[in-house]
Structure formats: structure tokens, C-alpha cells
Amino acid sequence: MKILTLALLAIMLFGCQSTPENNVVKEKNLISKTLEHKDIVNCGFPSALTLHDDMIVIMDNSNSPIVQLFNREDVSLINSFGTKGRGPKELLTPSQMRITDNDIIELLDSDNCKLVYYTIKGEHIKDSSLMTSGHKIEKTPSIGRISDNTYWISNLKTEFNLEIYNDNAEKLKSLFNIPNSNEDPYINQMSIESNPENGIIVGATKMGDVLQIYNTKTDKNFIHIGEGGIPTSSDEGQIEGYLDVKIGEDKVYALFSGVTFAEIFDNEELLNGGKYIYTFSFEGKPLEKYTLDRQIVAFEIDPSGDTIIGYDSNQENPICEFKL
């Protein structure tokens, strides 16, 4: 009854094109393998992890160097660069990383609201301020490219979590609205990911249990509300939600915590991260639930689609893999 109520609530609140079924069709426990670490991974807390060619690339939002590149085979350090700060070449709050096809690393500094570009070898290329409608954006937690002439930014100062612009800085669309009782937009913060190749954008709430999928090619928005419900300002029963999301070739992968904030505040020995990865179709239908044998804070899907690379911040050797 609770799931049915939440599904009906999704229709009323969001006017979505389709409300997904909430039954998970496949459940599986995944056993991790710690990768051999030739070098120490000196990372305070990774805000992004990705794979590029035969490298594991990590962005650290708490320490310098900000970017660390490791050989995937033996986790040996290839290169590291990027400094915390407010000056040129520096990032105060590195919150997102993207590697282009021509080996350019794009880093988003959400507090300084700029993009910093480096080569894969660590050579600084340029800093670029973010602009919309001729005005510098004050702050954005994330940004992404949709096509050659459109991009999205997350916006915590409006009722929508995501806005789409063209390269002339003209707003085209607003998405991912999640009303709550006290209208505090920070409660609705999302982990957001986009894939220009298939036109999918995913937003998953960092509190509560809401995941939205927008297909830019069909202009359809799909919403999944899990048993954790919509984020609220109430401390009672509020949960830590989605920590990371990735878009595969034909499905969405989402790392979920589900631990209540009361447990986090009351238990100093509680491990960081989430131990559940859910997958969804591009129409928002739940497909699989993977239960991990350890908690991770970030992950990436191998291009083959059969392996998850995870980062366990609770361990001295943090990089691990799971076979699907």
C-alpha cells in the first residue's frame, strides 16, 4: 500500500510521462576484490571516480593534488596535479570531473563557479567562468554537456534542480522539481549525471529516495520514488540517499545508502558509503538490486558492462572491483 501511495504521489506532484513499477526483478550479492595497490592512494574523499583507457582517475575534493591517475592493473600512480585554492589554475570546491575524447580533463569548481581544464599529463590549459544569459553563475554543484550546443547546470536557488541552456546562455528547459514542506532547495540536492551519446540525464536525491530520468531525445521525464520517500527537513526517519549515479549503454546505475541520519550522527564507528547499487531502465523501471559486501562512496562501470570499480574510503587500499 505504501509503494502504491508513493507511486500515485509521484503522478500528482511531478506530472511525469510514466510512473515505473517498483518491483525489483533481480537481486544479487556481489563479492569484492581489492585491487593490488603498488602505490598509496592519498585521497581524503573522492568526489568523482572514472575510467579512461587503462587508467583509474580520481578527483579528491578535500586535498591537493586534486586529480590522481592510476594504472588500473596494479594501482600504480601515473600522475597527479591540481591545487586547492581561489587563484588561477586552482579549485576551491572540486565537485565534478569529465574527460573528453581528446584527453582533456574538465574540472568543475562549484564555489568559484568555473571550469578548469588540464591535459591528461597535468598541463593547465585554461580557466573558464560559467555564464548564463550574460551573467556569471554564482554557484552550481554540477554541470554537464548534452550536445555540441546545449548543456545543463544544477541550480539550488530555484524550485528546479536542473536547467538546460544553449551555448548562447539562453535557458531552454527546467527539470527535476521536488516540492517539500519548507521549500528548502538544499534538501533536494541531487547527484546528477548525463550521457550525450544516448541523451539521458539522471538526477538522484542525496537525501530520501527519489530518482529522475530525462530523455533529451524523446523529451520525456520519468520518476522513481522508493520506500525512502521524498526528502524532508524532518530528522525523524530521514535517510541518506543516492551517493553516485552512472549511465550505462542501456540502463542507469545508482549507489544508494539508505542509512538514517540518526544512525550516522549517533554511531561514530559507522562506515562511510553505500552498499546497494540499483539499476533502472531509461524509462525509470527498477531492474536489479546489487548488495555489496563492503561500502563504497563512488564507483564506475567498466565499458564491458560486467565489472564495477568502487572506492571504499574505509580501507587503506580503497580501490576494489565487483563482477556483475
At residue 309, does pLDDT exceed 90?
A: yes
* Domain range for 92: 44-129
**How confident is the model over 16-36, as pLDDT tens digits?**
554 444 455 799 999 999 998
pLDDT at 79: 95
Question: Bigger pLDDT: 9 or 96?
Answer: 96
236 and 190, same domain (yes or no): yes
pLDDT at 3: 42
pLDDT at 20: 43
**How confident is the model over 184-233, as pLDDT tens digits?**
666 778 888 998 889 999 999 999 999 999 999 999 999 999 999 888 77
DSSP 152-188: EEE-TTSSEEEEEEETT--EEEEEEE---TT--GGGG
Give 78's contacts (C-beta < 8 A, 6+ positions apart): 55, 69, 70, 71
Does residue 37 lie within any of the structural domains? no
Give 36's contacts (C-beta < 8 A, 6+ positions apart): 74, 75
208 and 77, same domain (yes or no): no
153 and 292, same domain (yes or no): yes
Does residue 323 lie within any of the structural domains? yes
Which three cell numbers, joined as nine digits, stand for 148?
A: 555540441
Q: Of all residues in the chain, what percent carry a pLDDT higher than 90?
A: 51
Number of domains in the chain: 2
51 and 85, same domain (yes or no): yes
57 and 6, same domain (yes or no): no
51 and 26, same domain (yes or no): no
Does residue 287 lie within any of the structural domains? yes
Compute the average pLDDT of residues 310-316: 93
- List the CATH number of the domain containing 289: 2.120.10
- List the CATH number of the domain containing 64: 2.40.10.480
The Cα 295–Cα 65 span in angstroms is 24
Does residue 63 lie within any of the structural domains? yes
**How confident is the model over 63-95, as pLDDT tens digits?**
889 999 999 999 999 999 999 999 999 998 888
pLDDT at 220: 95
26 and 88, same domain (yes or no): no
